[in-house]
Structure 1
Amino acid sequence: MIVWLNGPFGGGKTQTAYELHRRLPGSVVCDPEHVGFGLHRMLPEPLRGDFQDLPAWRQGVFEVLDLAASRHPGPVLVPMTVTEPRYLDETVGRLREAGHDVRHFALLAERETVLRRLRERGLGLGLKRESFAVSRLDGCLEALRAPEFADHLATDRLTVSQVAGRVAELSGLRAAPDTDGALRGRLRRALVGVRHIRFD
């Protein structure tokens, strides 16, 4: 099974993916951003735009996830924002056409909730470091509420652990119980955040 976690930037996709990974033995996280980062590094700087606009990104994501889901015995967890219906069709749609069981979830929240989460991950710089995410927020939220981006999961009043548990339940996966206390959970999420700081 492929579990694709969509949502706005700062919506909790990566945190949820790694919480699921921790609680689903045999699962693996496959992050399509790495395909995009590789393509950006290959291109001259003036040619670097949104890597999702590159057909090579969509094709590469399909091929990598097709391989991972075909050869890896456990769930494949995919945290990635995609708001263009055609790009969703060329990734999630093609994977389904290839015979994969793809469960797609749009993790949604109110604008202020997402802004608060972005401030928390901004390394003390507020929203200054998250200008790209803020600039795309309203468009993301509007696009992802469309029917083609279902299943929709409202996360405003849920913890990361609760979101992960709900995704597992809706996917028919049996997640181990969350045994973290409040402090350990915060530390674990902080480590995930630090590991995913982007410098390029």
Structure 2
Amino acid sequence: MINGAFGAGKTTIANRLVNEIENSMIYDPEEIGYMLRNVIPIDIKRTESVTGDFQDLDLWKEITVDMGKKLITKYNINLIVPMTIRKIEYFHYIYNGFKSIDEQTYPFCLNASKETIYERLRLRGEEEGNWCYQQTDKCLEAFNQSDFGEYIDTERKSIDEIIQDLKGKLKHL
């Protein structure tokens, strides 16, 4: 599991890790969220997700874990799971669900300063002030207040350095 604010480097790191870790694939729970956003009726979305965040939909957590189990069972594959989860109860639900499927489930949280995250968001073409930007403070605060796994500093580090750091931590777990 690779957690972090939007712009922390999750997707970049996940895309590199899939080439570094044998028998692995990227499994992005955002895809589950997009699907639910498209199929759940508006009145249910208004009740369960008043914030507009698909993670607040009850089914999102459940389907995320269930699909992970199906992927691991069907393909006997290692999942690399990039996602931004700032609500600790959602993190625990998904982490414990994955851990019950595969004991070798390791949560990492990529960290960077607000300024670095904003710069990365700008560089990837995000419109300043959009939803990703609006989540930055909430994510950074949540990551400082709760334990979201093994933290990896991405500030002023190359992708190669971050990958080596992450792989080093995996060897020691």
Go from structure 1 to structure 2 and tell me whether the alpha carbon gap of 1:97 and 1:22 turns closer, same or farther (over 3 Å shift): closer
Query: Quick one: structure 1 residues 23 and 95, their matched pair in 2 at CA, closer, same or farther if it must change by over 3 Å?
Result: closer
Among 3, 9, 15, the residue aligned to 1:6:
3
Distance 1:149 1:142 in 2: 12
TM-score (norm 1): 0.76
Amino acid at match of 1:163: I
In structure 2, which of residues 61, 68, 72 is the aligned counterpart of residue 58 of structure 1? 61
Equivalence map 1:116-155=2 (5 Å): 116-122=119-125, 127-128=127-128, 131-155=130-154
Instruction: State the alpha-carbon separation in 1 of the partners of residues 12 and 162 from structure 2.
Output: 10
For these two proteins, the number of residue pairs brought into alignment is 166
Q: Which runs of 5+ in 1 are unaligned?
A: 174-200
Is 1:77 paired with 2:80? yes
**For the residues of structure 2 that align with 1:116 and 1:102, how far apart are their CA atoms?**
31
- The 2-side partners of 1:11 and 1:45 are apart by 31
Secondary structure of 1:106 counterpart? strand
SS at match of 1:135: helix
Alignment of 1:100 with 2:138, yes or no, is no
Identical amino acids, percent of aligned pairs: 28
1:32 aligns with 2:29: yes
In the aligned structure 2, how far is the partner of 1:114 from the partner of 1:144? 14
| Local SS of the residue matching 1:156 | coil
Taking the aligned partners of 2:107 and 2:64, their CA distance within structure 1 comes to 15
Deviates more, 1:61-70 or 1:149-158: 61-70
Q: Which runs of 4+ in 1 moved over 4 A?
A: none
TM-score by length of 2: 0.87
What is the alpha-carbon distance in structure 2 between the residues aligned to residue 149 and residue 19 of structure 1? 22
- SS across alignment from 2:85: coil
The residue that corresponds to 2:49 in the other structure is none
| Unmatched 5+ stretches in structure 2 | 47-51
